[in-house]
Amino acid sequence: MTVRAVRDEERLPVLVGAGQVLGNRDRTVAGAREPVRLILDAVAAAASDAAGSGACRLLRDVDAIDVVNVASWGYDDLPGVLAERLGAQPRHRFAAPVGGHRPAELLDRAAARVVAGESRVSLLVGGEAQASVVALAKAGVDPAGDLGWSAEPGGPPAFSPDELGSPAMRAAGLVLPTRVYPMFENALRHRLGDSPAQAATWAADLYAAFSRVAADNPVAWNPEVRSAGEIATVGPGNRMVCEPYPLAVNAMPMVDQAAAVIVTSLAAAREYGVPEDMIVYVWGGAGAVDSPDVLARPGFDRSPALESALDRCLAAGGIPTDALDVVDVYSCFPVVPKLVAGHLGMSRSDVPSVTGGHSSFGGPLSSYSLHALVAVAGRLRTGARTALVHANGGYLTHQHAVLLGRDPHPRGYIGDPEAVDTAAAAGPAPQLAPAAEGEMTVETATVEYGRDGEPAQAFLIARTADGRRFAASTPPGDAASAQALSLYPDALAEGPEDEVVGRKIRVSLTDGHATVDRI
């Protein structure tokens, strides 16, 4: 843990500029902007926010550029492109791998570089143009050939299969986040003793509150206020995706949004003429990581990495949860804010967001928490004193939390950017049974629905009679097996809700798929 005296202004990290932009909500060809263009617009907004007429000089003096992963378009060296466009010569240039935790982690690292005397002006950016990429493809427009977007390499970046879960996860069909996060949700609900109806009500209330926050965010993708009833009601326009999550509580990645923040030393901020009431102090944070293979974790009803990052961040800051004026939590799926709120002792009526959530504000993949930093900076500049930003990556795999304040922390910077591996401390996972049949007990499960509103396939994690863990998907189109693992075993709209976790089932294997009957 690094601690510096507050009086050392050259080593005290502050956030001085915050900017964000929204693009092409109408999804037109004419309105499409390349991600790098969106990012540069956000950078210009952040620089103007920090230094006004001195923005150009501030950007030329940038000595570090961190770019959150851009998934909608490919670049060989995006930090280099940005440096050239800005006329800067940064010594530190980093293009981050995929991960929603990255904005919080990279802010922590930027602050640590200031503390170490390695940087005076850092730029942290990210952006996506997925809505435009899809619109252009539908219109038959080549972004590179027709619109002059970057062709180095251009196109949507490819992902290696190794980045998409373990071989066992892939064999069980547990790769898409829309399938994996509901598994955690159902396990958490069971541990908390909630019925499916109670858990769904909590999620709907939470996301309705997020929509009210998004309605006041000028760059929200969907600023429409939605009621809890609208969010919870499954039907046309709000189909069930994977039980128990309808579309309205899934992240919305088809957006065009970008954000940028500028971190300097306090001494540099004053040299560039940043007004005192615009300075936000970066206290620091903490990170943690769990096993990237969810099937190698002891259970699915909690996140040791999430708990570790939050606990260590707050302990280092010496601040209790009830002393925080602002809390902004990652919300790609309801289980994440539920886990954070539960661990922090927040009530179910609390609204842990000043950004607006992934389904209403928008879910620009790895960049969401960069927008959260912009929103939090605004709150700290207008009356709040302390704030915590939580960011999540992978399948509840990577966690990072950071504290920011209107005033400097009494001990200066209290962060530790290096993630702690919590996998070993979490305890051993059950032995995996690659192929098993017979009687089992459901650990967790979810049922995926087609666009026609009908159950299409179920995904199962269960324990065999001898305690081993078995994971598989049911045969596509096998309605009986899907119903055996459903929270709605008779009919989605009118059938009785039923608990799935702990249910006794009988499994038989056919071509690697699990046919399931209730016992």
204-227: per-residue pLDDT in tens? 999 999 999 999 999 999 999 999
Q: Is residue 222 one of the residues assigned to a domain?
A: no
**Domain for residue 374, yes or no?**
yes
Q: Label residue 491 by pLDDT band (50, 70, 90).
A: very low
Q: Which pair of tokens denotes residue 487?
A: 């929270």
pLDDT grade for 155, boundaries at 50, 70 and 90 = confident
CATH number, domain of 54, equals: 3.40.47.10
Domain identity same for 452 and 319: no
| Spatial CA neighbour of 461 closest among 510, 501, 508 | 501
Kindly list the distances between the CA atom of residue 353 and the CA atoms of 100, 201, 317, 448, in Å, as whole numbers in the listed order. Answer: 16, 18, 20, 28
Q: Given the DSSP bridges, would you call strands 92-95 and 64-67 parallel, antiparallel or unpaired?
A: parallel
Do 294 and 407 lie in a common domain? Answer: yes
pLDDT interval class at 497 (50, 70, 90): low
The C-alpha atoms of residue 108 and residue 415 are separated, in whole angstroms, by: 7
* Rounded Cα gap, residues 378 and 218, in angstroms: 12
Looking at 363, 394, 421, the residue that finishes a domain is 421
Name the residue among 354, 312, 398 with its Cα closest to residue 102. 398
For residue 488, what are its two tokens?
Answer: 């709605």
Same domain, 147 and 294: yes
For CA atoms 45, 50, 52, 56, give the dihedral sign.
negative
pLDDT at 495 over 50: no
For residues 390 and 388, give the distance between their C-alpha atoms in angstroms, rounded to a whole number. Answer: 7
Quick one: 443 and 306 in the same domain? no
**pLDDT surpassing 60 at residue 60:** yes
CB distance 351 to 209 below 8 Å: yes
Distance, in Å, from the CA atom of 427 to the CA atom of 221, rounded to the nearest integer, reads 41
The helix, strand and coil proportions of the chain, stated in percent and rounded to the nearest 5, come to: 35, 25, 40
User: What mean pLDDT comes out for the span 446-469?
Assistant: 95
- Can you give the pLDDT at residue 499? 87
Total number of domains constituting the chain = 2
How far is 47 from 53, CA to CA, in rounded Å? 9
The DSSP code sequence of 42-79 is HHHHHHHHHHGGGHHHHHHT--EEEE----SS-BS-HH
Domain at 490, CATH number? 2.40.50.840
pLDDT score of 7: 59
For residue 443, name the pLDDT band (cuts at 50, 70, 90).
very high
In a domain, 512, yes or no: yes
Looking at the structure, do residues 452 and 324 belong to the same domain, yes or no? no
* Integer Cα distance of 515 and 505 in angstroms: 10
> Quick check: 4 pLDDT over 80?
no
Instruction: Say if residue 411 is in the same domain as residue 466.
Output: no
For the ranges 65-74, 160-169, 488-497, the lowest mean pLDDT is seen at 488-497
pLDDT one-digit tens code per residue, 295-347: 999 999 999 999 999 999 999 999 999 999 999 999 999 999 999 999 999 99
**Do 15 and 87 reside in the same domain of the chain?**
yes
Mean pLDDT of the chain: 95
Asked if omega into 275 is within 30° of 0 (cis), the reply is no
Quick: pLDDT tens for 228-272.
Answer: 999 999 999 999 999 999 999 999 999 999 999 999 999 999 999
List beta partners, residue 514. 509
In a domain, 233, yes or no: no
DSSP letter assigned to residue 500: -
- Please indicate, yes or no, if residue 371 is contained in any of the structural domains: yes
| Same domain as 416, residue 442 | no
In this structure, the answer to whether residues 409 and 464 fall within a common structural domain is: no
From 421, 455, 483, the end of a domain falls on 421
Confidence grade of residue 161 (pLDDT, cut at 50, 70, 90):
low
**Within this chain, do residues 505 and 365 fall inside the same structural domain, yes or no?**
no
| Confidence (pLDDT) at 25 | 96
Burial class (CB in 10 A: 0-12, 13-18, 19+), 503: middle
Secondary structure element (H or E) that encloses residue 102, with its range: helix 102-115
Q: Please tell me whether residues 265 and 391 are part of one structural domain.
A: yes
Look at residue 384 and tell me if it is in a domain.
yes
- For residue 493, give its domain range: 438-518
**192 to each of 239, 244, 267, 311, 338, how far by Cα in Å?**
26, 16, 49, 21, 11
458: which residues sit within 8 A by CB, 6+ positions away? 445, 446, 447, 448, 473, 474, 481, 482, 484, 485, 486, 516
In tens, the pLDDT along 391-429 reads: 999 999 999 999 999 999 999 999 999 999 999 988 999
Share of the chain above pLDDT 90, in %: 90
pLDDT over threshold 70, residue 467:
yes
Task: Please name the residue ranges forming H helices in 392-443.
Answer: none
For residue 2, the model assigns a pLDDT of 45
- End-to-end, the C-alpha distance of the chain in Å comes to 53
**Which residues, in sequence order, are CB contacts of 348 under 8 Å at separation 6+?**
202, 205, 206, 341
| pLDDT at residue 138 tops 50 | yes
Instruction: Pick the last residue of a domain from 357, 390, 421.
Output: 421
407 and 510 part of one domain? no
Q: Would 173 be classed as within a structural domain?
A: no
Classify residue 370: in a domain, yes or no: yes
